Amino acid sequence: MLPKSIQDLAEKMRYFPGVGVRSSQKLALDVLQLSPEKYEELIGSLKNVRAEVCFCDNCGFFAQKEAEQKAGVKINQLFTLMQDQNHSLQFVCEICKDTTRNLAQICLVEKATDVITVEKSQFYRGTYHVLQNLISPLDNIFAEDTSIGDLLERKIPKLLVKYPKVELILFFKAGFSSEATTAYLKEVLKQRGLLDKVSLTKLAQGLPLYYNPDTLDQATMAKALEDRREA
Ligand SMILES: [Zn+2]
C-alpha cells in the first residue's frame, strides 16, 4: 500500500529496540512530514552523532570530540593526574571534566548506558569506569576482554599517589558474571596488597536480585547508593 521508499525507511526504524511495525511506519511518515529545514537538521544530526561522539579516554562513557581537546588542552586536575605517555586523554566526557567530582570514588559499570542510570539518582558525585564487559568464563569473556587492566594499571596507582584510599562501587546486574568480576577484582587487589587502600562496595540489599538498571527509579537508586555495603 505504501510507496517503497516509505516502507524501506520504516524497516530501518525497526533497527531500534522497542519499535514495532506500526510505530516504524508512523516514524517514517513523520519524517516525510518534516519541513525541509528540519529534515536537513535531522540528516545532519544523524551524520554527526557517529562522527563526533566517541568513548571517553578516561572512563569509557560517551564523549564529544571537540577541537580544543584534540589540541590536548589541559582542562582540569584530571589531566595532570591521570594522563601519561602511555595513555593520553584526548577525548574526555562531561563527567570527567567536572572538577567538583570526587576522583577517589569510582563507580564500575558494564556499559556506557549504565552511567546514565546512576546519574539519574542525582546522588552520586564520584566518577565512573566502564568495563565494556563483565568477566564470564562460560562465555569466553575474560579480564583482558574488559577494561579492568586500565583500571588496575593506570587509574588506581595514579589515584593512590594523591588519595590515601580509593572506593570502587560495583554497579552490576546480579548474576554469575557480576560475581566472577567481583571475585577477580578482589583477588588482584589482594595479590597486590591493596585491599586496605582500595575498598569494594556494592549497592544495598533490598534491590531485587535481577533488577534492571534501566528501569530503576531515582529514589530507589539514591537509597541503594547511600546504603551500599562491602562487596
Ligand atoms: Zn569520562
Rounded to the nearest angstrom, the distance between the alpha carbon of 20 and the centre of ligand 1 is 34
Position 126 scores a pLDDT of: 96
**CA 17 to ligand 1 centroid distance, Å:** 26
Q: What is the pLDDT of residues 155-168, one digit of tens each?
A: 999 999 999 999 99
pLDDT at 80: 73
Ligand 1 centroid vs 92 CA: distance in angstroms?
Answer: 5
Neighbour tally for 190: CB within 10 Å: 10
Report CA(54)–ligand 1 centroid distance (Å). Answer: 11
Collect all residues with Cβ–Cβ distance below 8 Å to 71 and sequence separation of at least 6.
none
What's the 227 CA to ligand 1 centre distance in angstroms? 25
Give me ligand 1 centre to Cα 158, in Å: 16
**Of the candidates 105, 95, 100, the residue with the CA atom closest to the CA atom of residue 57:** 95
Q: What is the pLDDT of residue 71?
A: 46
93-130 burial: b if 16+ Cβ within 10 Å, else e: bebbbeeebebbbbbbbbbbebbebbebbeebebbbbb
133 CA → ligand 1 middle, Å = 17
Along the 231 residues of the chain, how does pLDDT read in single tens digits? 899 999 999 999 999 999 999 999 999 999 999 999 999 999 999 999 999 999 999 999 999 997 655 544 555 666 677 877 788 888 899 999 888 999 999 999 999 999 998 898 888 999 999 999 999 999 999 999 999 999 999 999 999 999 999 999 999 888 899 999 999 999 999 999 999 999 999 877 545 555 566 667 777 778 778 888 888
- Residue 140: CB atoms within 10 Å: 7
Instruction: Report the pLDDT value the prediction gives residue 208, as an integer from 0 to 100.
Output: 55
Residue 120's pLDDT is what?
85
74 Cα to the center of ligand 1, angstroms: 14
Distance 61 CA to ligand 1 centre (A): 5
| The pLDDT value given to residue 75 | 57
pLDDT for res 165: 96
Give me the pLDDT at residue 125, please: 94
Residue 194 CB coordination number (10 Å): 16
Question: 81 CA distance to ligand 1 centroid (A)?
Answer: 14
Distance (angstroms) between ligand 1 centre and the Cα of 26 equals: 36
CA of 114 to the centre of ligand 1 (A): 13
